[in-house]
Structure 1
Amino acid sequence: MRKSFALSALFAAPLLIGAQVAMADTVTVDSCGRDVTFNTSPSKVIVHDLNMNEMAMALNLQDKMVGVTGVTGWYKTEGPALLEKLGGVPELAPKYPSLENLLAAEPDLFIAGWYYGMKPGGEVTPDILEQHGIKTLELTESCVHLDKNKKAASMDLLFDDMLRLGKVFDKEQEADTLVDGWKKELSSIKEAVGENAGTRVFLYDSGDEKPFTAGKYAIPTAMIEAAGGKNILDDMDTSWGRANWETVASRNPEFLVLLDYSQDGSGAAGLMDFLKSHPVMSETDAVKNGRFVALRYAELTPGPANIEAIRKIAAAMNPESF
């Protein structure tokens, strides 16, 4: 992220650790269609996953946090560095938390999402946590799993979540400054891309027999569009899911976004080697011309890292314009 935008996150004045701060007015926000009301600013917060922790850090909420979950589990090589930045906030569970994990920390708020720390029918849901006096804010992108009136992904998924956090934690000015800066950055990217917009893009996360990728409701689709491209699977009626190689190849992507789970770039290189050896993908323009960009997990899930990732995509697709 550009330095000017990163510095805007430092304007927040610190509050007393562990102290509940009464709000001037009761605050009610929407979370997956639920009204969540706060009479005091949350002071004992647990945040799930890399991207939502980066949202919290962008508003300097570390002094409000009593724990994190889902940061170092699975293949998330970014996790240890994030924990270091959090300065001693403990990880309560490396993957999905149990109800016991959460209750032991006595939080007043859990920031998570569906399939980002919670599963329908699981032991950790907003309804169950409410029974224990814990409020939940859900990642808006994840609400698609519950929403019958689904809308295609847009960058508002990120913007609205940041503005909602600002409202809940009485940091509206800081959130407004961040979002305004991000919107200006995206306008400058769009201007730089100009008439070159429309590049056909395929996002490859993982999978040999069937690729795991982003569909209509996942934020990478909006990111690719903001970078001047078009996700060739933006008609896939899901957020993240599996496609088939024949469909991908028939749409002949011109550019690839490779999700890199390694620290040294070897993960993306391995994905590209696989595509070069694949009987149908090896014939696509993107693979034949070696056109791709490697991005981290936190860059492709809703969070502050999305903005710089969009610039990376745009610059890799149109190097002459950046």
Structure 2
Amino acid sequence: MTANVNIAIKHTSLLISGALLGLLHAGLANASGYPVTVQSCDRQVTFDHAPKAAVSNDVNLTEMILALGLQDHMAGFTGVSGWKTLDPSLRNGIGELKELSPKYPNKEVLLGADADFYFAGWNYGMRVGGGVTPDTLAPLGIKVYELTESCIHVMDKPKVSMHDMYNDLLNLGRIFGKAEQAQSLVDGYQQDLAKLQANLTSQTSVPKVFVYDSGEEQPFTSGRFGMPTALIEAAGGKNIVDDVQKSWTQIGWEAVIDRAPEVIIIVNYGDVTAEQKINFLRSNPAFENIPAVKNNHFVVLEYVEATPGPRNIKAIKRLAEAFRTAS
């Protein structure tokens, strides 16, 4: 009888200890903020801890990572030198981190880096139906967070806005346990933008704006769901192809001529320089009556400024000044 009682007491003690240990672990998890669940396009992704070997694709996404000081959580980056120049400030920020692939990575590249997290977007490191997607990486233990602006390629979403970029920073903050830093960063951007926009009320007109990315036979531009539309509107302008239900797309030159933009934004990257693009527009007789060409109202944005990322606010300030000059 006594032996049975002792065994029962020991068993009860073990159960209580186990329960207390479970509560302790739960308390520690809650104290650390994990697990966290974020919305990524049409998916919810849960993280039990901060990624330790993250990979980001493209310069703008990598700069988001750097803005939050997450270098120590990174295994490397991809998709920069293949067709874009690595900005000196970005090189200084990433320090010794390696570019794992000059263009979009394949699964082998990510596995070779022991990656546990991939920050990319649709047409920013992933393609619909391609070999690297959230579905193909999940079995490999690599979680994916998708750039909000790019979600239009896989789901319906509202028109692009600055909230898209803010949303990514806030979600990255939660994923990596830096929610307060992310909120502080976003608050600062919003305050800067509010000050700028308070001075736009005196603007007499809303300039019509065309985004010229590339292409001579047909221009590649940004429509309703591309980040330049959000930048243009925040600066007090109107994208002439705001009615085109695309993020980045080709259109015909006839539409550009008919809609007569007063300002043309040149996106600078790749082998064809911004100056060469401007010279092409100036030298073609078909464009001579476009107000922006006639009045030499061009403004150059670097690729990293025209896509979602920390440089968007400064880009808006430059656009606002260019619009003021053109009005």
TM-score (norm 1): 0.88
Contact 2:34-2:47 within 8 A present in 1 as well: no
State how far apart, in whole Å, the 1-side matches of 2:211 and 2:157 are.
21
The residue type equivalent to 2:284 in the other structure is: H
The yes-or-no answer on 1:311 pairing with 2:317 is: yes
State how far apart, in whole Å, the 2-side matches of 1:242 and 1:260 are.
17
State how far apart, in whole Å, the 2-side matches of 1:23 and 1:109 are.
19
SS in 1 for 2:285: coil
Corresponding residue for residue 29 of structure 1: 38
The residue type equivalent to 2:111 in the other structure is: L
Corresponding residue for residue 296 of structure 1: 302
The yes-or-no answer on 1:174 pairing with 2:181 is: yes
Q: How large is the RMSD of aligned CA atoms in angstroms?
A: 1.9
Alignment deviations for residues 111-167 of structure 1 (CA, whole Å, 9 cap, x no partner): 0011111111211111111001110001011110011x2321111110100010111
State how far apart, in whole Å, the 2-side matches of 1:115 and 1:267 are.
22
Contact 2:207-2:326 within 8 A present in 1 as well: no
Alignment deviations for residues 258-294 of structure 1 (CA, whole Å, 9 cap, x no partner): 011279xx82221111111223322111110001111
- Counterpart of 2:98 (choices 90, 96, 105) is 90
The residue type equivalent to 1:290 in the other structure is: N
SS in 1 for 2:72: helix
SS in 1 for 2:129: coil
The yes-or-no answer on 1:234 pairing with 2:242 is: yes
Shift of 1:195: 3.3
Contact 1:204-1:256 within 8 A present in 2 as well: yes
Structure 1 segments (4+ residues) deviating >4 Å: none
Contact 1:70-1:95 within 8 A present in 2 as well: yes
Shift of 1:84: 3.9
Count of matched residue pairs: 297
Q: Which moved more, 1:151-160 or 1:23-32?
A: 23-32
SS in 1 for 2:187: helix
TM-score (norm 2): 0.87
State how far apart, in whole Å, the 1-side matches of 2:288 and 2:325 are.
23
Corresponding residue for residue 102 of structure 1: 110
The yes-or-no answer on 1:193 pairing with 2:216 is: no
Contact 2:61-2:308 within 8 A present in 1 as well: yes
- Counterpart of 2:221 (choices 213, 217, 225) is 213
Q: Which has the higher helix share?
A: 2
Corresponding residue for residue 120 of structure 1: 128
The residue type equivalent to 1:312 in the other structure is: R
Identity across matched positions, percent: 47
Shift of 1:77: 1.5
Corresponding residue for residue 276 of structure 1: 282
Q: Structure 2 stretches of 5 or more lacking a match?
A: 1-30
SS in 1 for 2:308: coil
The residue type equivalent to 2:160 in the other structure is: A
Matches within 5 A, 1:48-59: 48-59=57-68
Higher gyration radius (CA):
2
Corresponding residue for residue 86 of structure 2: 78
Cα 1:282/1:78, change in 2 over 3 Å: farther
SS in 2 for 1:249: helix
Q: Structure 1 stretches of 5 or more lacking a match?
A: 1-21
State how far apart, in whole Å, the 1-side matches of 2:138 and 2:57 are.
17
Contact 1:223-1:310 within 8 A present in 2 as well: yes
The yes-or-no answer on 1:144 pairing with 2:158 is: no
